[in-house]
Chain A
Amino acid sequence: MLYALDKSLSSEEGFAEVKACLTSPLAKLVIWGLLSALLYHLVAGLRHLIMDAGIGETLEGGKLGSKIVIAVSVVVIVLAGVWIW
């Protein structure tokens, strides 16, 4: 990722090269994979912060929260897929 950032910022040609590389189906799949992991981590992390605030700390709240995290993650991951393709 840093290599791509470096290349895309180094010059006009580098930017075009990275852009061209990201149009291939394999690159899109890899980006989607990385983005999915990051989005799930983000949603689950937000749940941690909410639970730190004392919300949803009961057994029932914990179960419900984990279901919400999975549901929200699936939605944003699908949206990310739509955005990439």
Chain B
Amino acid sequence: MVTNVTNLSRSGLYDWMAQRVSAVVLAAYFIFLIGYLVFHPGLDYAQWHGLFAHTAMRIFSLLALVALGAHAWVGMWTIATDYLTPMALGKSATAVRFLFQAVCGIAMFAYFVWGVQILWGI
């Protein structure tokens, strides 16, 4: 059982589920966006702006942004706790890992706020 204090939900099973659910959301969003771009070769500003101004698209984009934060957190946490360990780094491992996770957390928070600003600014 995962008991590390820095994992997303304090439960390995819930983290596992969050990773899968966010993966499905991100896959749907990415495939939709690529599909849209493939089927609109001569895309102009009005079409592009109209797509992101649509309420459904805003909700979808915001959902994908939340999913990206959760997905990236679970993924980076897994990497950090697998490789940034005392076995690999010695005594400073906890400090290095905490710093790494802090940078990841700030980056995800910044992307989220920035994304909301873009989506709601148009």
Interface size, chain A (Cβ < 8 Å): 18
User: Which residues of chain B are near A52, meaning CB under 8 Å?
Assistant: 20
- The SS class assigned to the B binding surface is helix
Closest approach, in angstroms, between the C-beta of A55 and any C-beta of chain B? 15
Bound-state Cα–Cα, A38 to B72, Å: 13
Bound-state Cα–Cα, A83 to B111, Å: 28
Cβ-defined partner of B30 (8 Å) among A5, A15, A42, A48: A42
Interface size class of chain B, counting residues whose CB lies under 8 Å from the partner chain: 10 to 19
Chain B contacts to A: CB under 8 angstroms: 20, 23-24, 27, 30, 38, 44-45, 48-49, 52, 111, 114-115, 118, 121-122
- Assess whether A38 is in contact with B20, with CB atoms less than 8 Å apart: no
- The SS class assigned to the A binding surface is helix
